[in-house]
Structure 1
Amino acid sequence: MGMVQMDPSKDNPPEALVKAMGEHIEAAIAAGVFLDGGGLDGGAQCTEVRLSQGQVTTVDGPYAEAKEVVGGYSVLEFRSHEEAVEEARRLVELHHQHWPGWEGSVIVRRIWDGPPPQA
């Protein structure tokens, strides 16, 4: 899974990035690696449910102290971690090319398809 982290104060992505991402996703679907994905809103309507010290609490966003939010995600299937990291690099480059001034990152995490391995 790749998660795009970015500055929460950024506006919606420019049309050029939306178009480039659409083309990129179409290619990933054709290659058989794209399973799911989408953009997430900036956090104006988000709620965090947290367990801390035995208490469950909820906090509604937006979160003024947040330096980054998850702006989107993609679930792709690759043969190796290195292939997934290369895809993340391509996504960051698309953002750089089509969204002037954008800064952020793509975090690559494995989704377990069974029980996680024992340490």
Structure 2
Amino acid sequence: MRFMTLLKSSGDFGPPPPEVFGAIAALGDQAGKTLVESAGLSLPADSVRVSLNGGQITRTDGCDSVSADAYAIYEVADLDEATAWATKFLDVHRKHWPAWEGTVEIRQTFGA
């Protein structure tokens, strides 16, 4: 089964300490082929939203809603295993960026 995890910060905690990147890389190495893909995402202010409302398609530059900061896609046996990887990812933040707070949303993907 394939799951996408979306990391969402609960505030502006500034840039991550360098140790976070090393720990995330080590976690990726630990995941091996289970980790299909992962990346950080640009800031919401740098994004574009395309919407369909009332038969009209519109473009909005910049998003003002809560959005994801990073994502990862895991190929795992079940939701419990995906949850375990998300927990490990949050633990990296807890250990190496104690001031950071946020959540990981986990969603199964289909058709991949």
Same fold (TM over 0.5): yes
- Distance in 1 between residues matched to 2:8 and 2:69, nearest whole Å: 6
Q: Would you say 1:9 and 2:12 are equivalent positions?
A: yes
Aligned alpha-carbon RMSD (Å): 1.6
Under a length normalisation based on structure 1, what TM-score does the superposition of the two structures give?
0.82
Moved over 4 A (4+): none
Partner of 2:70 in structure 1?
A: 72
Which deviations, in whole Å up to 9, do the C-alpha atoms of 1:12-40 show, x marking residues without a partner?
Answer: 221111110011011112xx201111011
Is the counterpart of residue 92 in structure 1 residue 102 in structure 2?
no
% of aligned pairs identical?
27
What is the CA deviation profile of residues 61-112 of structure 1, one whole-angstrom value per residue up to 9, with x for unaligned ones? 152xx3x320000011100111111111111111121112211111111111
Q: Which has the higher helix share?
A: 2
Q: How many residues align?
A: 109
Higher share of residues assigned strand: 2
Q: Equivalents in 1 of 2:11, 2:111: separation in Å? A: 31
8 Å contact 1:4–1:73 — kept in the other structure? yes
Q: Does 1:54 align with 2:55?
A: yes
Structure 2 residues without counterparts, runs of 5 or longer? none
